[in-house]
Amino acid sequence: MVNININGVNLSVEEGTTLLEAAQFLGFPIPTLCHMEGLSPYGACRLCVVEIGEGPKARLVTSCTSRVEEGLRIRTASSRVMKARKMILELLLASCPQSKVIQDLASKFEVRRQRFRQEHEDCILCGLCVRMCEEQMMAKAIGFRGRGEKRSIGTPFDIRSEQCRLCGGCMYVCPACQLRCTYTEPDKAICGGCANIYPPCVEKEQFDDMMCYMDPCVACEIIKKIEIK
């Protein structure tokens, strides 16, 4: 057992426990976007940062990927943590304003303004879908490609993967794009959001920018038109 202290509360947990698990055990809320039970921790969204260490050595670490150490003192909501979280949410909001998950989080943390140039991206590259595909669906159909600005998720060379079983797990876990492809049966939709896209998914001829990996789409059964000359 390892003794730690979270926000002033002493706690003894098993070795190998992550800081996130320990904090959640005590009921301290830590927001996450790229964490999901059953998937390996990845540390992409940085929302779950907590402050550890003292004085000049104090620093922020992602609680999902850091493990407990003997005598560690953790602060889950210090001013430094909150400042960072708010900025991260502002950045997320600027890039992906249509995601309900992000909107909710922003509202919860009282992020009331967004000072960056507005973008409308479909993906925050949290990697949940990649891990879902690999670790739960044992498919490894999709993965990360490129780096920096050009990083994206997809199949190698954009060729439909033979490993993909169209399970839809990737969409199920996506915090940014779960609105996709439920148009034909809005009542069964996770959020029904895709009906709000204009033009709606079904009327759109080019699906390339819709970021749907499945072909045909599981939900709406529309077959992507492949232009053959």
Q: State the residues that interact with other proteins by CB under 8 A.
A: 42-46, 49, 59-62, 65-66, 80, 83-84, 87-88, 91-92, 94-95, 115-117, 124-127, 144, 146-151
**Under 8 Å CB-to-CB from 69, ≥6 apart: which residues?**
2, 4
- Min dist CB 37 to other proteins, Å, is 18
Shorter beta-carbon distance to other proteins: residue 61 or 190:
61
Shorter beta-carbon distance to other proteins: residue 94 or 195:
94
Long-range Cβ contact pairs of 220-225 (< 8 A, separation 24 or more): 220/181, 220/182, 220/183, 220/184, 221/184
Shorter beta-carbon distance to other proteins: residue 112 or 150:
150
Shorter beta-carbon distance to other proteins: residue 40 or 196:
40
- Min dist CB 175 to other proteins, Å, is 12
Shorter beta-carbon distance to other proteins: residue 85 or 180:
85
Q: Is 101 exposed, middle or buried (0-12, 13-18, 19+ CB in 10 A)?
A: middle
- Min dist CB 60 to other proteins, Å, is 5
Using CA atoms, how far apart are residues 76 and 69, in angstroms rounded to an integer? 16
Q: Which pair of structure tokens corresponds to residue 163? A: 């490993």
Per-position b or e across 64-81, b if 16+ CB within 10 A of its CB: bbbbbeeebebbbeeeeb
Q: Which pair of structure tokens corresponds to residue 123? A: 């993906």
- Min dist CB 22 to other proteins, Å, is 16
- Min dist CB 55 to other proteins, Å, is 16
Within the chain, strands assigned E span 2-6, 9-13, 49-52, 59-62, 73-75, 143-145, 152-154
Shorter beta-carbon distance to other proteins: residue 27 or 148:
148
- Min dist CB 116 to other proteins, Å, is 5
Beta bridge partners of 200: none
